[in-house]
Amino acid sequence: MRVLFTAAEIFPFAKTGGLADIAHALPKALSEHLDVVSLMPLYRFIDKKRYQIEPTGMEMTLIVGETLHTVEIFSTHYEGVEHLFVYNETLCDCEGIYGPPGGCYENNDIRFAIFSHAIVELSKRLSIELLHLNDWHTALAAPLVKDAGLKTRIVFTIHNLAYQGIFPPLSISRTGLSPHHFTLEDMEFYGSLNWLKGGIAHSDAVTTVSPSYAVEIQLPEFGCGLDGFLRLHHEKLSGILNGIDTTLYDPSGDPSLPYHFSAGRMANKSRCKKAYLEEIDIDTPELPLFIFIGRFVEQKGLDWIIDAANVIGKFPMVLSILGGGERRYEMLFDALSQQYSNIHVQIGYDESLSHRMYAAADFLLMPSRFEPCGLNQMIAMRYGTIPVVHRIGGLRDTVHPWNGKEPLCGKGVSFSEPGASGLVRAIEEAIELYDTRRTFRRIRKFDMDCDFSIRRCAQRYESLYRTLF
C-alpha cells in the first residue's frame, strides 16, 4: 500500500507542538510495513543543508482560484523515511509556520490551499492509494480529491478540534474550491467556510488522537460547534492514542542530557536535577521540582497556574516553566517569576532545554482545560517524571491514579474539577507523594517501564488503513 502522509509541521524540520512529533514518529513506524512518503511545506527557515534537502526536478503549476502558482518538489531521506517538500513563495516565505509569534497570517487560506492542491497533484503523480491528512491545514485536499474523481482513500486525523480553518465565504473562489461545497452538510459553518468540516465530510475515516477525546468532541462542551456534525459522522470516527518516538526520547542515550539514566539506574536523574537547578540558579535540590512545558494558550490551563501562584509561591516546591505564545501569558509569567523565588520562567522554544527539564524534574504539571492527547505527559513518564494532570481527554487515557488498583499504564496525580483549587489540591498530593520516598520511587519506575511507543499507535493505523480497501 502506497501512503502519502501530509502535515503542516514535521519534526525536526519544523515544529510548534505535538503534531510535528507525531508526523515524524508515525510515518517512521508505519514505514516498517508500508510504503510511506511524508509531505510538508519547505518553509524558508528550514535548514536545507543540514537535512540534505535537494530539488527533485519536479515542478507543478497549480491553478488556485484565479491564480497560477508554481511549486517545486524537494526531497530527502530522514531516519528511513522518504520526505517530500513543497516549495512555493506564498506558502513558504514566512517567519513562522502559521504566523508571527502569537498570531496568524491573513493569507493562510491561500497558503494552505496551495499546499492542498499540491497534495492532490502529487497523489496523482505518485499513484497514492491512501492519503493521510492531518488537521485543517491539509483538510481542503479531501474535497479536492473527491472533485478530481480520484479513488485514493482518505484518512483525516484531528489533532485539535479547536483549530478548524474558518474563512469568509470569499475564500471559496480564491482557494479554487467548487462553490457546491458551501452547504450545511459540507463546509458551510455559520455563514463561513470551515476546512475541518470538509476534511470530516470527505474522508473515508476520521480519527482523533485519543479514545476519550473522540467521545468528548461529540459533546457540546468540547465539540467547538462541530459536535452535531461529528455525531452525524460518528460511524467513521475513532480515537487512536498517540505515542512517542522512544528512540528520540530516551533518557539512557539522549544527547541533550548531561547524565544518562534508566529505570534500573536512577542515580543520574538526581544529577540531571542538580545540574538543571544550577543552570537556573536555584539551590534547593531537596524540594520537588515541578515543570510546565508548552504553548502559552488558554487550552493549557495557564490561568489556573496563575490563579494558584500565590499558593505555589509558598509551597515547598520549585516550579520551572518553559513556553511561549500569547503575549499576555508571557507577561504574567514573567511578573510571577519576579515575585516568587521558587517560580522560574523561560520564555521561548528550546528543544534541547525541554529534554533537560523532562530529565531533571520530579513532576510535570499539565492542567489543560481540554487535551486531545498530549505528548508531554508520555515524554515525562519516559524520563521518570510523574505527571500531575487535569483528568480530561488523552490525559485521562494515559495518567491513572497512582493509588488505584488497576494495573494500567501509566500512573500519576490527577484532578477532575476544573480550576485553580483542583490544581492546588493535586500539587499538595504530589508534594506528599514526594515525601513518601518509597512510593514516589515505585511510581517513577512503573511509569518508566510503561510502553507509550508509537509502534502500538502505528499498528492501529495500519489496521484502519486496511479496512478501507
Residues that bind ligand ADP (CB under 6 A): 17-19, 21, 293-295, 322-324, 349-351, 354, 373-376, 379
* Closest among 181, 212, 210 to 197, alpha carbons compared: 181
CB of 357 to ligand ADP, least distance (A): 9
* Closest among 218, 222, 161, 221 to 195, alpha carbons compared: 161
Q: For residue 360, what are the contacts with CB-CB under 8 A and spacing of at least 6?
A: 269, 272, 273, 275, 276, 277, 289, 291
CB of 324 to ligand ADP, least distance (A): 6
Cβ–Cβ under 8 Å, residues 367 and 301? yes
Smaller CB distance to ligand ADP: residue 119 or 364? 364
Smaller CB distance to ligand ADP: residue 21 or 129? 21
CB of 366 to ligand ADP, least distance (A): 8
Cβ–Cβ under 8 Å, residues 111 and 138? no
Q: What angle do CA 271, 275, 277 make, to 5 degrees?
A: 115
Q: Which residue is nearest to ligand ADP (CB)?
A: 18
The DSSP output letter for 248 is T
CB of 101 to ligand ADP, least distance (A): 12
392: amino acid identity, one letter = I
158: amino acid identity, one letter = I
Three-class SS of residue 435? helix
CB of 171 to ligand ADP, least distance (A): 25
Smaller CB distance to ligand ADP: residue 19 or 142? 19
Smaller CB distance to ligand ADP: residue 243 or 374? 374
Smaller CB distance to ligand ADP: residue 92 or 378? 378
Smaller CB distance to ligand ADP: residue 41 or 394? 394
Rounded distance, CA 1 to CA 338, Å?
Answer: 56
CB of 209 to ligand ADP, least distance (A): 8
Rounded distance, CA 351 to CA 158, Å?
Answer: 24
